[in-house]
Amino acid sequence: MTTGLAVSAGTLTQLRTLAKEEGTTPQVLAETAIRRFLRYEARRRIQREEDAFRAMHAELRGTYPGQYVAICRGQVVDHDPDQLALFRRIEERYPDTPVLIRQVTPEPEEVYTFRSPRVDAL
Protein backbone atom coordinates (compact mmCIF):
# COMPACT_ATOMS: atom_id res chain seq x y z
CA MET A 1 0.00 0.00 0.00
CA THR A 2 1.40 3.36 -0.99
CA THR A 3 0.77 6.10 1.54
CA GLY A 4 2.55 9.00 -0.10
CA LEU A 5 5.20 9.25 2.61
CA ALA A 6 7.85 11.64 1.32
CA VAL A 7 11.56 11.65 2.07
CA SER A 8 14.20 14.13 1.04
CA ALA A 9 16.09 13.61 -2.19
CA GLY A 10 19.32 13.00 -0.28
CA THR A 11 17.72 10.31 1.88
CA LEU A 12 16.20 8.66 -1.17
CA THR A 13 19.58 8.64 -2.92
CA GLN A 14 21.18 6.97 0.10
CA LEU A 15 18.35 4.42 0.27
CA ARG A 16 18.69 3.59 -3.41
CA THR A 17 22.46 3.15 -3.10
CA LEU A 18 22.19 0.93 -0.03
CA ALA A 19 19.29 -1.05 -1.51
CA LYS A 20 21.32 -1.78 -4.63
CA GLU A 21 24.28 -2.94 -2.52
CA GLU A 22 22.02 -5.13 -0.37
CA GLY A 23 20.00 -6.52 -3.27
CA THR A 24 16.69 -5.14 -2.07
CA THR A 25 14.50 -2.09 -2.64
CA PRO A 26 14.46 1.33 -1.00
CA GLN A 27 10.90 0.59 0.15
CA VAL A 28 12.00 -2.54 2.02
CA LEU A 29 14.87 -0.68 3.70
CA ALA A 30 12.61 2.23 4.68
CA GLU A 31 9.94 -0.13 6.04
CA THR A 32 12.55 -2.01 8.07
CA ALA A 33 13.98 1.22 9.50
CA ILE A 34 10.54 2.59 10.39
CA ARG A 35 9.50 -0.66 12.10
CA ARG A 36 12.70 -0.67 14.16
CA PHE A 37 12.10 2.94 15.17
CA LEU A 38 8.49 2.19 16.17
CA ARG A 39 9.60 -0.81 18.29
CA TYR A 40 12.23 1.37 19.98
CA GLU A 41 9.65 4.08 20.71
CA ALA A 42 7.17 1.54 22.10
CA ARG A 43 9.86 0.17 24.48
CA ARG A 44 10.77 3.70 25.53
CA ARG A 45 7.14 4.56 26.23
CA ILE A 46 6.60 1.37 28.23
CA GLN A 47 9.69 2.25 30.28
CA ARG A 48 8.08 5.60 31.11
CA GLU A 49 4.89 3.78 32.15
CA GLU A 50 6.97 1.46 34.37
CA ASP A 51 8.57 4.52 35.96
CA ALA A 52 5.10 5.97 36.58
CA PHE A 53 3.95 2.65 38.09
CA ARG A 54 6.86 2.68 40.53
CA ALA A 55 6.23 6.33 41.43
CA MET A 56 2.51 5.63 42.08
CA HIS A 57 3.02 2.24 43.72
CA ALA A 58 2.23 3.26 47.31
CA GLU A 59 -1.04 4.86 46.23
CA LEU A 60 -1.90 1.96 43.90
CA ARG A 61 -1.24 -0.53 46.69
CA GLY A 62 -3.84 1.23 48.82
CA THR A 63 -6.41 1.64 46.05
CA TYR A 64 -6.02 -1.50 43.89
CA PRO A 65 -4.31 -4.18 46.03
CA GLY A 66 -3.86 -7.40 44.07
CA GLN A 67 -5.60 -6.00 41.00
CA TYR A 68 -4.13 -5.39 37.57
CA VAL A 69 -3.81 -1.77 36.50
CA ALA A 70 -3.38 -0.33 33.02
CA ILE A 71 -1.14 2.73 32.82
CA CYS A 72 -1.08 4.98 29.78
CA ARG A 73 0.67 8.35 29.59
CA GLY A 74 1.48 8.13 33.30
CA GLN A 75 -2.15 7.65 34.40
CA VAL A 76 -4.19 4.65 35.50
CA VAL A 77 -6.73 4.26 32.70
CA ASP A 78 -8.38 1.03 33.88
CA HIS A 79 -8.08 -1.74 36.47
CA ASP A 80 -9.48 -5.22 37.03
CA PRO A 81 -8.74 -8.28 39.16
CA ASP A 82 -8.95 -10.30 35.91
CA GLN A 83 -5.85 -9.67 33.81
CA LEU A 84 -7.36 -11.07 30.61
CA ALA A 85 -10.52 -8.98 30.89
CA LEU A 86 -8.40 -5.87 31.42
CA PHE A 87 -6.15 -6.77 28.51
CA ARG A 88 -9.13 -7.17 26.17
CA ARG A 89 -10.58 -3.80 27.12
CA ILE A 90 -7.22 -2.08 26.71
CA GLU A 91 -6.64 -3.69 23.31
CA GLU A 92 -10.02 -2.37 22.20
CA ARG A 93 -9.62 1.15 23.60
CA TYR A 94 -5.89 1.63 22.84
CA PRO A 95 -5.17 -0.59 19.82
CA ASP A 96 -1.88 0.99 18.71
CA THR A 97 -0.75 2.60 21.96
CA PRO A 98 1.77 1.08 24.36
CA VAL A 99 -0.04 0.51 27.66
CA LEU A 100 1.55 -1.08 30.71
CA ILE A 101 -0.52 -3.71 32.52
CA ARG A 102 0.90 -4.72 35.90
CA GLN A 103 -0.43 -6.40 39.00
CA VAL A 104 -0.32 -4.29 42.13
CA THR A 105 1.67 -6.39 44.58
CA PRO A 106 3.10 -5.44 47.99
CA GLU A 107 6.42 -4.55 46.34
CA PRO A 108 6.73 -2.57 43.09
CA GLU A 109 9.27 -4.99 41.64
CA GLU A 110 9.08 -8.75 41.56
CA VAL A 111 12.12 -10.44 43.00
CA TYR A 112 13.20 -13.80 41.68
CA THR A 113 15.71 -16.02 43.43
CA PHE A 114 17.53 -18.62 41.39
CA ARG A 115 19.54 -21.29 43.07
CA SER A 116 22.43 -22.63 41.09
CA PRO A 117 24.31 -25.79 41.86
CA ARG A 118 27.58 -25.28 43.65
CA VAL A 119 30.62 -26.96 42.25
CA ASP A 120 33.28 -27.87 44.78
CA ALA A 121 36.88 -28.02 43.68
CA LEU A 122 38.51 -31.41 44.04
Number of compact structural domains in the chain: 1
Question: What backbone phi and psi angles, to 5 degrees, belong to 117?
Answer: -65, 145
Give the model's pLDDT for residue 94.
Answer: 96
Q: Is 20 a domain residue?
A: yes
Q: Is 6 a domain residue?
A: no
pLDDT over 90 at 122, yes or no: no
pLDDT digits (tens, 9 = 90+) for 7-60: 899 999 999 999 999 999 999 999 999 999 999 999 999 999 999 999 999 999
Q: Is 19 a domain residue?
A: yes
pLDDT over 90 at 2, yes or no: no
Alpha carbons within 13 angstroms on the beta-carbon side of residue 5 total: 10
Q: Is 71 a domain residue?
A: yes
Give the model's pLDDT for residue 93.
Answer: 97
Q: Is 117 a domain residue?
A: no
pLDDT digits (tens, 9 = 90+) for 92-115: 999 999 999 999 998 887 666 677
pLDDT digits (tens, 9 = 90+) for 66-89: 999 999 999 999 999 999 999 999
pLDDT over 80 at 121, yes or no: no
The whole domain housing 31 covers 13-103
Q: Is 58 a domain residue?
A: yes
Q: Is 18 a domain residue?
A: yes
Q: Is 7 a domain residue?
A: no
